[in-house]
Amino acid sequence: MGLTQTGKKVVSIIRAWLVVFAFLSVIYLRGQNWASGYFVDPSPFGVIAELFILPLFLVPFIALVYYGVRAFKDVETPIKRWTRFIFAIGAVVLLFSPDVPNSYDGFQSRMSQFSPDEYQALAKDIESAYFTYGKSMDPSRYFDKRIVRVLAEDHPILKVSSWPTPPYVEYTETHVAIFWGSGISGGYRVVISPGKLDEAWLRDWVPEPRVLYDGVVLLLDWT
């Protein structure tokens, strides 16, 4: 059974606009990636939206193969077929381009909304809380979630996200750290120190740490 006249028109429209769909898919995927860092949440547009990630990821490659076959199968291919093929290549390049803002950039953008004084005030309160409740935190030195909730009442930094739980707060002799994420998926970390952090320690992190302010460093923790 062949396609109806309406079906043929729909297929024709999809073929003609496939390269546009490819670029829209890339824009959405790169935007979603940036937003996941800004909102400190791997599903910033909702869990249901995650179901469309793979289909959207495939669209640029479908466009590349489709327009590539049409462009190369005939020596006298019309110029518009070559144009669409070139644009399809552009969509795939854009999908993987390191020059497009990513989740790390989004996280940095969100954390830069807080001032150096806010970070240092939080670090002092974390240190004070450690000496008050420290015995209950060893050996991990991660604060109990109830303590984190109390700290969050005076420090909006701790309220930026609850993914997958309220953030982990850690105290050490050289710095304090706030970590959003889990041991399985990894996450985002802010390290606060009253002075300059140990450069040898920072070199262990990949990708490269980003200095937000003096004594405040951002890290991706995908371990």
pTM: 0.87
Nearest-5° angle of CA 173, CA 179, CA 183? 110
Residues 63 and 30 in one domain: yes
Assess contact for 192 and 122: CB atoms under 8 A: yes
- The whole-angstrom separation of Cα 70 and Cα 60 is 15
> What does the DSSP 8-state code read for residue 104?
H
Residue 14's pLDDT band, with cuts at 50, 70 and 90, is confident
Question: Is the same domain home to 84 and 165?
Answer: no
Please tell me whether residues 141 and 186 are part of one structural domain: yes
Taking CA atoms, 47 is separated from 27, 41, 51, 181, in Å, by: 19, 11, 7, 16
9 lies in the same domain as 31? yes
How many domains, in total, are found in the chain?
2
Q: What does the alpha-carbon distance between residue 48 and residue 34 come to, in Å, rounded to a whole number?
A: 18
The residue from 76, 102, 128 where one domain ends is 102
Kindly state whether residues 10 and 90 are assigned to the same domain: yes
Same domain, 121 and 215: yes
Spatial neighbors of 1 by CB under 8 A, at least 6 apart, are: none
Q: How confident is the model at residue 146 (pLDDT cuts 50, 70, 90)?
A: confident
Tens-digit pLDDT profile for residues 152-170: 999 999 999 988 778 888 8
Instruction: Examine the fold and report which residue of 71, 102, 133 is the final residue of a domain before the chain moves on.
Output: 102
Phi, psi for 176 (deg, rounded to 5):
-120, 160
Q: Is residue 38 part of a domain?
A: yes
Question: Which residues are bridge partners to 96 per DSSP?
Answer: none
In a domain, 107, yes or no: no
Supply the range of the domain harboring residue 57: 5-102
